[in-house]
Structures are given as structure tokens and as C-alpha cells.
Amino acid sequence: MPAPKNTFKVRLKSGETQFGLWLSLGDPSVAELCAGTGFDWLVIDGEHGPNGLRDVLAQLRAVGDKTHVLVRTRDDNRAEIKQMLDIGARTLLVPMIESADQAREVVRSTLYPPRGVRGVGAALARASDYNGVGDYLQTANDEVCLLVQVESMAGIAALDALLEVEGVDGVFIGPADLAADMGHLGRPGAPEVQEVVNDALTRIRAAGRAAGILTSDRVLAQGYVELGVEFLAIGSDVGVLRAGLTALRGAF
């Protein structure tokens, strides 16, 4: 029996836009609720959200097969990447990538030897159904989906070289940090920022890689859809909850 098919990875090559939602509250019940609302994917945020290893594990279990789950790691730490894969994450979003060499090392962290350096402990891991998936070691590499996050001008400068790295399935542009790096802190919608963002998304797609981004601005989101981005996050659990509660209270 092979490793479970990564349907999100397959769909990245279809040319359609997959719509996602950010999970930042670190709560399994919130993840479970969000998983049943029709989004193509959810991302558990381990960079800014209060999510340790066991928090991520609990949310993976809560979501189950309702939708596809991405996990954003804290950074490119090799040990953490290994653990996230072992607990059952199949798609990783790794932040703050600024060079092709850094991206290559992240790729190596996600793959078993000889293609990479992921430690072999699948017999003990949830990823292999605790050794219930007999061919896990032989098939896991093909089902890992790696998305790297470019969110600084250094990353933008290295983008063309980064896009040549084998094993990078997609590139996610982080508009908030990019805007800050460009001198537009808190203003990712600034025209100067959006010019860089749209150029980067176009270059990613032209290189045959999947392009992704997050925005809660519906006008910007529609523009990204028209641009053809393959994975687009259109909000967060925090944002939706706060907006809904504020609107409800305001109505009375």
C-alpha cells in the first residue's frame, strides 16, 4: 500500500485556483468547524499562531479528510520539518526563504535519502498509519508538497534562481512582510507593493510552478484569481470571527 495521494499537489497542476483559509487560533474545534465549510484547503499557522507540535497534531486529527491541510512551519528548521511530516502533514509552507541554496536545503529536509536527508522513523509515525502503510518509505517522497514563502526584497531578487530548484512545488508571496520590507508597513495593498507582488506571481507561473498568496481584500483577491494563481487564501479564522462578531454587535 502506497502513501496517501496528495490531491492538493495534483490539483496545483490543473490550472484552477484552490481557495484556502488561515487557521491561527490553535484550536482543534475551530479547525474542525472550518474544515466543514467548503474551503479547498486550510493552513495551520505554526509561524505566528500558538501552534506547537502537539497543537498541529490535534488539528490534523480534527480536520481528518474533510479538506486538505497545509502546515506553515516556524522556519526552515530541519528537525521541525521532519516532525511535521511524521505527524501526518503532507504539504508544508516554509516561510522567509531568501535564496536558492536555502530552498535546496528545505527540499532536502522533506525527502528521504538518497534524494534528501529526512530521518527514517516512519514505523513509529502517524504519517505511515503507524506502520500500517507498507510502502510508505518508497512512496512518501512523491506525495510531499513543498511550498516556499518569499516575503522580502532579498527573496524577490533571488526568485528566478529559486524557481529553478527541483522539489519546490509552489511559491507563496507574503505580502505583509514584503510591504514592510519595502517601507509600507501595514499597507500590503499599496500600488508599489502590488506591482512587485503581481510581477512575482506572474514569474512564478511562467516558470511552471504554482503561485499563491493571502489577502482578505476581495478586490485584490479577484485580481489574483484573474491572474491565475493556483492557491489563494481569502481570509483567516481570526478575521472572520472578529468581523462576524463585530457586525452582529453593531446590528444591535
Does residue 1 lie within any of the structural domains? no
- Predicted model pTM: 0.96
The alpha carbon of 136 is separated from its chain's Cα centroid by a whole number of angstroms, namely 23
Does residue 104 lie within any of the structural domains? yes
- 45: domain CATH number? 3.20.20.60
Does residue 178 lie within any of the structural domains? yes
The Cα 41–Cα 218 span in angstroms is 18
Does residue 205 lie within any of the structural domains? yes
Per-residue pLDDT in tens (0 to 9) along the chain, 252 residues: 899 999 999 999 998 999 999 999 999 999 999 999 999 999 999 999 999 999 999 999 999 999 999 999 999 999 999 999 999 999 999 999 999 999 999 999 999 999 999 999 989 999 999 999 999 999 999 999 999 999 999 999 999 999 999 999 999 999 999 999 999 999 999 999 999 999 999 999 999 999 999 999 999 999 999 999 999 999 999 999 999 999 999 999
Does residue 83 lie within any of the structural domains? yes
Does residue 2 lie within any of the structural domains? no
Does residue 26 lie within any of the structural domains? yes
Q: What is the CA radius of gyration of the chain?
A: 18
The Cα 162–Cα 160 span in angstroms is 5
3-state secondary structure of 122: helix
Q: Is 48 a catalytic residue?
A: yes
What pLDDT, on the 0 to 100 scale, is given for residue 15?
86
Helix pair 53-63, 78-86: axis angle to 10 deg: 30
Residue 32, domain extent = 7-250
| Phi, psi torsion values for 171, nearest 5 degrees | -125, 130
E-strand ranges in 162-236 read 170-173, 210-214, 231-236
Does residue 160 lie within any of the structural domains? yes
Task: Count the domains in the chain.
Answer: 1
The residue from 5, 48, 115, 218 that is catalytic is 48
